[in-house]
Structure 1
Amino acid sequence: MNADPLTDFSRLCVHTITTKGWDLEEAVDHYAQAGVSGITVWRQWLEGRDPSKAGKSIRAAGLKVVSLCRGGFYPAVEEKSRLDAIEDNKRAIEDAAALGAPIVVLVCGAVPGQSLVESRMQITDGIAATLPLAESLGIKLAIEPLHPMYADDRSAINSLASANDVCDELNHPLVGIAYDVYHLWWDPDLEAQTRRTAEANRLFSFHVCDWMTPTTDLLNDRGLMGEGCIDLRGIRGMVEDSGFKGMIEVEVFSNRWWEKPPQEFLQAIKQSYLHYT
C-alpha cells in the first residue's frame, strides 16, 4: 500500500542545527514522536557523548542516522593548520563510523586573501589525505558547494560544477556531493550539473530550506520551505528524475525561527515539508 502523500514523512530528515534549542536526546525524542524518519547529527551535539551509544539510542528511537555534519575547512596558509584540519576530519570520520552515519558532510573552507585556486588545491589534497581512513571504515565524504557569498572564508567550492571537478580529480566512489538548494538554486547550469552529478553516482545528500527576500543575515536568515523564492518542487523533481531516492534533509539556520519554541518550529517544518517540497 502506498503512503498517503499528505502524511508521508518516510523521507523527512531534520538536522540537529535546525532545532538547536534541543540537545541530542531531546531532538531524538521529539523527532521520533513527530514521525520524522531521519536525523543528521551536527558534531557539536556529540560533545561529551559516546558516538556509538548515541547512535544506538537514535536507532532505538526509530530514527535513521543520515549523516554527520560537518567536516572540511581544509585550506590554511600555514602547513600545520592544514595538517590539523586533516586530523580533525579523520576524527569526524571515526565519529561517523561509531555513530553509524554513512556520510560526513564537508564544508570545505577558504582563506581570505588566498587565491581560490590555491584553496581548491588544498581542499582536494586534504580530502585525499583522509580517503584511506574513510575507505577502511566505509564512510562517504560529501562535498557541499556553498553559495558564492561564502567564497571568502567558508568555502572555495562555490558551484555544483566546482564540486564535481574536485570529485572528478579524486575519482573515488566514496567522494560525492551534498546538494543544498540554498546554495545552488541560482545556478544557470544547475540542470546540466545535476545530471553530471547523478550520472557519476555521487549525489549523496539533498538539503532543503528557502531563500528569504530580503535576506537580513547571510548565515542565519534562511527560510522554511515555502517562505522564500526557491523553486523547491522543481529542483526536487530534477534531482529525483536523475535517480535520487534518499532522504530530504531540512537544514534551516534562522534567528527568527530559533526565537520560537522548538516544538512549534518542528510542527511548521512538517507542514512545509508536506506542502512545499
Structure 2
Amino acid sequence: MQSLLLVSSPAPAAPAAPAAPAAPLPDLRRLCVHTITTKPWPIEVAAAKFAAAGVSGITVWRDTLAGRDIAATGRLLRERGLAVVSLCRGGFFPARTAEDRGKAIDDNRRAIAEAHALGAPLIVLVCGAVPGQPLSESRQQILDGIAAVLPEAQAAGVKLAIEPLHPMYADSRSAVNTLGQANDMVEQLRSPHVGVAVDVYHLWWDPTLQAEIARCGRLGALFAYHVCDWRTPTIDLLNDRGLMGEGCIPLRQIRAWVEATGYRGFNEVEVFSTRLWATDQDDYLRKIVQAYRDHV
C-alpha cells in the first residue's frame, strides 16, 4: 500500500468571541454510559441497570464481549431500549516491525467485524505509540493503518473516530495528542467514514480547542463527545478520572463549542477510576445520572 504523507495544517485563527456556556440538559435522551465506567458489571447487568436508570445509550468495550455471541448481545442491548453508540476500541497501529503493524491492522479488521455484528455504527480509535520511536513516525504509521482498514470499515458501514489523547499518553498510548493533529489526519484521509472523538479529559487544556472543534465541525468529522472530569491532584495517570463536577474541566463551556458545530449526538460518560469502581455500583450509577444533570 502506498503510504500517505502526513502534513500539518496551519493552526486556525481563534474565534472572535467565546460562546456562552451551554444550558443544562433537559433530560437524559443524550446520555450514554461506557461499559468501562461501571467496569465491575458484566454487560448484561450494565444493560439492565442503565435502562432502569433512564440512560439512553451504551458504548461497549471489546473486553465485555469476550466469550459472548456478539450479535445476540447487540439485540439484548436494543431490547433494553439502549442505543448502541460505539465500540471501544481499535487503533494501536504503530510498531517497530512490519509484522507487528500487520497484526495491529488485523486486530482492527476484527474490531470492524465485531462492531458490525453488534450493530455499533462507530469504532473509537486509541491510535497507539511506541516508546522511543519518533512521534512523527508513529503518526505516519497511524495514518497508514487507518487507510489500510478503511475499505473494510466502509463495506461494513462502520465509521472510525480518531481519539486524540492527553500528551501524558504520548509514550505508549497515542501519538495523536491534540485535536489539531486529529483534524489533520481527517483531512489527509478524506473519507466520510473517518472522523474524531472529542474527549474532554484529553483536550480541555488546549488553548486552540474552541477553534479546532469548530474546524472539526466544518469537516463534518465530529463523531463522538466524551465527558468526565479532571481531579486535582490526579494520583494515577490512567485510573483516576473524576465524575463530572469533581474537577476543573469547564464542561458546559466545551459542550457549547461542540454544539455550535451542530452536534446533537450523545454525551458519553467515560470514567476510568479505581476509586469509583470500588464503590457500590448502583449508588455510583445514581451519581452519574445526577452529575450529568448538574454539570454536563
Q: TM over 0.5, yes or no?
A: yes
Q: Is the 8 A contact 2:214 2:260 kept in 1?
A: no
For the residue of structure 2 that corresponds to 1:197, the secondary structure is helix
Offset at residue 108 of structure 1 (A):
0.1
Matched letter for residue 116 of structure 2: A
Offset at residue 6 of structure 1 (A):
7.1
d(CA) in 2 for partners of 1:83 and 1:198?
32
TM-score (norm 1): 0.97
Among 287, 292, 295, the residue aligned to 1:268: 287
Offset at residue 264 of structure 1 (A):
1.0
Matched letter for residue 186 of structure 1: W
Q: Is the 8 A contact 2:33 2:59 kept in 1?
A: yes
Deviations 1:80-114 (A, max 9, x none): 11000000000000100110000000000000000
d(CA) in 2 for partners of 1:217 and 1:119?
25
Is structure 2 residue 18 aligned with structure 1 residue 29? no
Q: Provide the aligned C-alpha RMSD in A.
A: 0.8
d(CA) in 2 for partners of 1:21 and 1:111?
30
Q: Which residue matches 1:88?
A: 107
TM-score (norm 2): 0.91
Q: Which residue matches 2:75?
A: 56
Offset at residue 242 of structure 1 (A):
1.3
Alignment of 1:109-148 (within 5 A): 109-148=128-167
Give the 4+ runs in structure 1 shifted more than 2 A. Answer: none
Which segment drifts farther, 7-16 or 205-214? 7-16
Structure 2 alignment gaps of length 5 or more: 1-23
Offset at residue 51 of structure 1 (A):
1.2
Aligned residues with identical type, % of pairs: 61
Among 116, 123, 130, the residue aligned to 1:104: 123
Among 208, 216, 220, the residue aligned to 2:235: 216
For the residue of structure 2 that corresponds to 1:110, the secondary structure is coil
Is structure 2 residue 59 aligned with structure 1 residue 40? yes
Aligned pairs, how many?
273
Deviations 1:107-142 (A, max 9, x none): 000000000000000000000000000010110000
Among 161, 179, 190, the residue aligned to 2:209: 190
Indicate the structure whose relative CO is greater, using CA pairs within 8 Å and at least 6 residues apart.
Answer: 2
Offset at residue 62 of structure 1 (A):
0.4
Q: Is the 8 A contact 2:240 2:274 kept in 1?
A: yes
Q: Which residue matches 1:151?
A: 170
For the residue of structure 2 that corresponds to 1:273, the secondary structure is helix
Q: Which residue matches 1:160?
A: 179
d(CA) in 2 for partners of 1:20 and 1:48?
17
Offset at residue 262 of structure 1 (A):
1.0
Offset at residue 7 of structure 1 (A):
6.2
d(CA) in 2 for partners of 1:118 and 1:218?
24
Matched letter for residue 26 of structure 1: V
Alignment of 1:199-214 (within 5 A): 199-214=218-233
Q: Which residue matches 1:176?
A: 195
Deviations 1:217-241 (A, max 9, x none): 0101100000000000000011001
d(CA) in 2 for partners of 1:62 and 1:134?
26
d(CA) in 2 for partners of 1:129 and 1:238?
32
